[in-house]
Chains A and B, each alone.
Chain A
Amino acid sequence: MLTSFILRALDRRTSIVLLVILGIGILLPVLNLATDPSSPFHVPTYVLTLLGKYLTYALLALSVDLVWGFCGILSLGHGAFFALGGYGMGMYLMRQIGDRGTYGNPILPDFMVFLNWKELPWFWTGFDHFWFAAIIVLLVPGLLAFVFGWFAFRSRVTGVYLSIITQAMTYALLLAFFRNDMGFGGNNGLTDFKDILGFDIQADATRGALFFASALALAAGFWICRAVIASKFGKVLVAVRDAESRTRFIGYRVEGYKLVVWTLSAMMAGVAGALYVPQVGIINPGEFAPANSIEAVIWVAVGGRGTLIGPIVGALLVNFGKTWFTSGMMAEYWLFVLGSLFVLVTLFLPKGVVGTLMAKKDRKPAEKPIEDVVAPGAAVQAAE
């Protein structure tokens, strides 16, 4: 059942996208490791890490698009799920430091020693195992999304109201994680990581592996989204987006559909966060900032919501732009650029870059039906 569900989604376009993502995922680390730094084909490690970060952003954008583009749920708080996944991974990486921290405590991370804590809080138990952290990375964002969605969707909170509560959710988490006594490192967050799965986190080979893992996760996320959208479930999602009450009156319990896709999307965002943290080397409460979630929405809007390739392209484009722009003297104007980008795209490219290109490509076969629709009206006018 599951295999046929997954295989059904594998049409030509999907296969090409998957091959491209995985191809890049293998090629760039190879160019980094196997070529001489003087070679024109050499990819420096810092570029590899930067692009790896972009890939995790692309996965976050994909998760936002799954709920916004296909089910009409505009989340302004997906950064929360991303950050929670990041903290899950961060806690594992903290435990891997062992006695190499500044205070040399084999059990307690530095910030706990600094706060004069004597033992590990209960919620840090198990994070010395990678498998445990990996489960938490999926489970915690998924559980938060499930509980949040259970209440919000059952009470039929929709549209702008829902967007505002998602924003409030991520802001509340931001404030909570800033507190030192929460036990997550306060405003400094978690950093100074040394090893992941026993490998030096700074080593080129580890960076390459993390880059490949990010590409793999993005490809898997794309495939899963594609399978969901291609199924009858996916058609119901689009139906909810187009006419929610009609969907109810033909017998679908809309809140169940929203809850499933919302939880799935949050888990994808959690995985993205978990892959982000070892590559940037830090996770702090700033990741919960509402602005981050809004940025993710802008990536989706720029790329094209309601297409699955769009958010990936959008996340890459906007972040290339951000890196390029903020490294020059115009750096302080970046937020103005981002803001105007959002306004301009909404006004002139409502379907986003990919959506517009796809509409152009598909226009030819669609032309005939449109003419036919006009014809009866024209006939009536002629008769008058």
Chain B
Amino acid sequence: MNTPIDSTKVAHAKAKDSLLYLDGVSVSFDGFKALRGLSLVIEPGEMRAIIGPNGAGKTTMMDVITGKTKPDSGDVYFAGDTDLTRMDEASIASLGIGRKFQKPTVFESHTVWDNIDLALAGVRKPFATLFHRTTKAEIARVEEILETIRLTDKRDWLAANLSHGQKQWLEIGMLLAQEPKLLLVDEPAAGMTDAETAETAILLKEIAKTKSVVVVEHDMTFVRDLDVKVTVLHEGSVLSEGSLDVVSADPKVIEVYLGR
């Protein structure tokens, strides 16, 4: 009788010291299994790179963590005891999980400043924002973030006028403004020049000093620049895990990446 409750408790206990805990997560869309029994644990303060061929389930995994997609089965816990499968996007974001999209998604008709200001941790309810007045502390915080993402001189620009790489940074800046405990970053180096890619790696490493970061990436040079533990996804579950050198020597990974 008590089996379902017990199994939750067991999962709970295992998730105790982790920041993010996924166990046996499965998702299918119209019969297609995007995730099959995916299990993944991120420690507090850890930075993790996730790689995998197209259709491996990387984006679906992000959707599950951020509440966009509800899993068919499996457990997803944040900070040990918060069940993410029961929450919507806004409440998960307020818990401290920030997400960066593959395609840079910023508010194009707002200025760089307003983009950061909107993302700033703080008021979120309609009537609170209606009567909100920007405080000195908020101004200082926005300025600090603009400095970090190297966009101070473009603060009054419309986000639409930024270059592709600058939009990516602005989006990372918006994530920082949320003051998240965990950052999910989807292909931050996509479409960037080599110089921008290297700079982005430095930026992410700087961020990872204070926060946990999960980076999904195709670009192997970039993953090498990050120099962190790597998880390889394939067909919706974990294929291999370890340092980049270990996983790239794994015969299963070689087979998936290079074909038979």
Where the two chains meet, the residues of A that have a C-beta atom closer than 8 Å to any C-beta of B are 1-2, 4-5, 228, 231-233, 235-236, 238-239, 241-243, 245-254, 256-257, 259-260, 366, 369-370, 373, 376-377, 380
For the complex of A and B, 7 pairs with smallest distance between CB atoms: A251-B93, A248-B89, A233-B130, A232-B129, A233-B129, A253-B90, A246-B105
Residue B66 interfacial (CB < 8 Å): yes
Segment with Cβ contacts to A, from B37-45, B47-55, B119-127, B225-233: B119-127
Contact in complex: A238, B107 (CB < 8 Å) = yes
Chain B nearest CB: distance from A229 CB in Å? 11
Residue in B109, B124, B157 whose beta carbon sits within 8 Å of that of A252 in the complex: B124
Q: Per-position contact with A for B84-109: 1 when CB-CB < 8 Å, else 0?
A: 00001111011000110100011111
In the assembly, what is the distance between CA of A364 and CA of B66, in Å? 42
In the assembly, what is the distance between CA of A2 and CA of B130, in Å? 10
Contact in complex: A373, B93 (CB < 8 Å) = no
Residue in A233, A243, A260, A373 whose beta carbon sits within 8 Å of that of B107 in the complex: A243
Residue in B109, B129, B178 whose beta carbon sits within 8 Å of that of A236 in the complex: B129
For A260, what are the chain B residues with a Cβ–Cβ distance below 8 Å? 126-127, 130
- Within B143-191, the residues touching A (CB, 8 Å) are 154, 157-158, 161-163, 174, 178
For A373, what are the chain B residues with a Cβ–Cβ distance below 8 Å? 161-163
In the assembly, what is the distance between CA of A376 and CA of B130, in Å? 39
Residue in B107, B157, B193 whose beta carbon sits within 8 Å of that of A239 in the complex: B107
Residue in B68, B114, B133, B174 whose beta carbon sits within 8 Å of that of A250 in the complex: B174
Contact in complex: A5, B130 (CB < 8 Å) = yes
For B161, what are the chain A residues with a Cβ–Cβ distance below 8 Å? 369-370, 373
Chain A nearest CB: distance from B118 CB in Å? 6
Most chain A CB within a 10 A radius of its CB, from B66, B130, B133, B134: B130
For A257, what are the chain B residues with a Cβ–Cβ distance below 8 Å? 126
For A228, what are the chain B residues with a Cβ–Cβ distance below 8 Å? 130
Chain A nearest CB: distance from B132 CB in Å? 5
In the assembly, what is the distance between CA of A377 and CA of B162, in Å? 11
Interface CB pairs A-B, < 8 A, 30: A231-B132, A232-B118, A232-B129, A233-B132, A235-B117, A236-B126, A238-B107, A238-B110, A239-B110, A241-B109, A242-B107, A243-B108, A245-B68, A245-B89, A246-B107, A248-B88, A248-B90, A250-B118, A250-B119, A251-B90, A251-B94, A252-B124, A253-B88, A253-B125, A254-B90, A369-B157, A370-B161, A373-B162, A376-B163, A377-B163
Residue in A233, A242, A251, A369 whose beta carbon sits within 8 Å of that of B109 in the complex: A242
For B90, what are the chain A residues with a Cβ–Cβ distance below 8 Å? 248, 251-254
Contact in complex: B193, A236 (CB < 8 Å) = no
In the assembly, what is the distance between CA of A236 and CA of B127, in Å? 12
